[in-house]
Structure 1
Amino acid sequence: MDLEPKGILRDIMIALLILTEFFFLNTLMTVHNWLPEYQFGLLILPSIESISLFILLFCISLFNSKIKRWLVYALSLLLTLFVVFGIAEAVVRHAYQRSFVPWTDLSFLPGVFHLLFGESVITKPVFVLPVVILFVLSICFLFYFFFRLSIRLFTFLKYRFITFSGIALILLLYGFLLGFSETLIDDIYEQIMPPSTAELPVASFDRDNIDDKNYYFSRLEERNVLLFSIESYGYTAYSKPEHYIP
């Protein structure tokens, strides 16, 4: 590191640029935390994933050009998947106050499109094709964006080991003092891994000790009680005007 005033000022500017890029990346990686309840104060909390990927990005910058390019492709794809899963997690948390379950929530999409646009429209390729194209273009845009971001950061990280080490140490201390943001990898792991089984003790009681005087429906004691649950999204009334009663 150059100890001249110009060299020190240059290193400070590079450190500030790296920190800016980090917190921008951290904002995208933690969208599932601050977006559902609009808690913008959580933006200042670094996440373990962001710091880990930031360190991984520095390690990739030390490889030669051929290997580095393939590693950057893999890292860009990983960042894209993280952001897409984080956005889905944020939407589900905001709407249903629970975590995103891909195998369950994605199966609801056809029903949502049927409710919004009707069966006669959703079955037409002219509607399905633009949705698929828009989704693919969004994924490609995110991938290209993270690829260019990684290449730009390489110019700052490759020969700035001391500066980068200081920034990483500051971020770790910053996280330990203020707390780290909620990790997304735990939610992804829970949704990918099969559910674990657990055995619970069965509650039992002695029917002979029941006080008949405190049982107001004694005649139903030996009868079956049937519960019927009916759920409707209102699609029938929405799509069939003759069934709608204003």
Structure 2
Amino acid sequence: MIVIPTRLKSTRFENKILCDIFGVPMFIATANVAKKVDDVLIAVDDEKVLKIANDYGFKAVMTKTTHESGTDRINEAVSKMGLKDSEVIINLQADEPFFEGLNLTKFKEFAMEQILNQDAFMASAYKYIEKSEADNPNLVKVVVDENSTALYFSRSKIPFDREPYNDYKGHIGIYAYSVKTLMEFCDFSQSKLEKTEKLEQLRALSNGKKISMLKMESKSIGIDTKEDLEKALKVFKKVNND
């Protein structure tokens, strides 16, 4: 199941999930991509958003407005669905309306293998980025070991290039876990690193948990700011018109 956490009052870009993406609200555009790959559940925190989701034919569930992360919101939503502990949950961010369906399918296959075989606590993804992009704090970076297991995520440029380095990796904000490991994750207290960087995946690493990373080639643009939205609409309008 793909669960899309939607928070209406985003800190950096309030109400961004309702922004128009070629005729539909952003979170609906994301859900339209997801529904081609798996069953979709939208975890909302506002009655207006719940109604919009239902009007577009999506299953949605109300969650608290006080959740610190999307994963915590998903945990509440999933707990209301009565799913088996072994069910694999994919967390697709509501601000990823341009995420490619092919990549979502690949990630689902990767996640099923990693999670069901208990090779990892969680799964996520990354793509290679230009060195010039690595200084952008809105673009989260990740470093991985030789087995593509995450070592650390940061808003800062990592690693520091004391010697020439051109393999910077941008984190793609998609996650997977089983219902069981999702519950375990949410039982952990927020770590100091998570609070400092405002990156929920650091909660898992701080507790010694393995996050397997899938390398992707993606042109998707996650929408964190109004500038991101303007850029994405220009890029993908051109793609759609070609």
TM over 0.5: no
Larger relative contact order, structure 1 or 2 (CA cutoff 8 Å, min sep 6): 1
Structure with the largest fraction of helix: 1
Structure of greater Rg:
1
Structure ranking higher in strand proportion: 2
TM-score (norm 1): 0.20
TM-score by length of 2: 0.20
